[in-house]
Amino acid sequence: MRRLFVFGLGYSAKVIAALAQRRGIEIVSTGRDGLLSFDDEGTVRMALADADAVLSSVPPSGEGPDPVLERYGDALGGKWLGYLSSTGVYGDTGGAWVDETAALVGSGGTGRRAARAECDAAWLARGARVLRLPGIYGPGRSALDRVRLGKAHRIAPDPAGPGQVFSRVHVDDIASGVMAALTAPPGAYNLADDLPSNQNAVIEEACRLLGRAPPPLLGLDEAGLSAPARAFYAENRRVANGKARRVLGWRPLHPTYREGLRAVLATGG
């Protein structure tokens, strides 16, 4: 592979692009930190024509269709395609494990979740490698930062509930997953760590690494969380990564949040 076109050079895509460049792949990108403007259609189409592969990290805009496919879908034929999706398409499973065979929650409906599910399905229909990602963390974006800023929360568990857990993935493991997918068949792949855990355990580990006392346990209403944060606590699932291991040959460098947080701290993040 000679050239990879990246739509949306954001947090994860920057790490992917850096790894690709180290492997001798030229990167052309859009986004705030990219080389091209998404709206500069002539230049983007010229760059796409000369690219061997296209990766999109652009999420749906509100409830509309996928912005990349809507505007540039006709220019993507004959190329390797990749799309960074979300394990949020699986919805709440009550803490049960979920894999790529599960139906996408919200597909065919309305709202942001439905838009995400429709974009995921649209890229699959194009023959893309759709990489479904759980909670993303890494340098500059982890529980360590929230603890340092005094913004970390520990939420008291609901005694009547099953106990909320979620999966996560270190940004370096996303990058290695994309590289592995460059030679893989089309389809959906979960890139998730091996130890789904509750958020309290992650915050407590970050506090331990920083030598700080954990924040107090608060009720959900006491914590003063934003609407997106509250929505996070409304879902409970474990994401299986077996297909990525079998088909991609992918292995997370940071199999749990413990190794991941230590690696972030070691890099000064």
- 258, two tokens: 């413990």
Q: Are 174 and 16 in contact (CB under 8 A)?
A: yes
What does the pLDDT read at residue 162? Answer: 63
pLDDT tens digits, one per residue of 192-236: 999 999 999 999 999 999 999 999 999 888 888 888 777 778 889
Q: Is the pLDDT of residue 191 over 80?
A: yes
pLDDT tens digits, one per residue of 145-190: 999 999 999 998 766 566 889 999 999 999 999 999 999 999 999 9
Reported confidence tier of residue 269, pLDDT bands at 50, 70, 90: confident
Q: Check: pTM over 0.85? Answer yes or no.
A: yes
Closest residue by Cα to residue 134 from 266, 230, 34, 232:
232
Q: Which residue has the tokens 């809507």?
A: 70
Query: What stretches of the chain show up as alpha helix (H) in DSSP?
Result: 11-22, 41-49, 67-72, 112-125, 143-148, 171-181, 199-210, 227-233, 242-243, 257-266
State how far the Cα of 199 lies from the Cα of 218, in Å rounded to an integer. Answer: 13
Architecture of domain 3-266: 3-Layer(aba) Sandwich (3.40)
**DSSP at 65:** -
Mean pLDDT of 77-98: 95
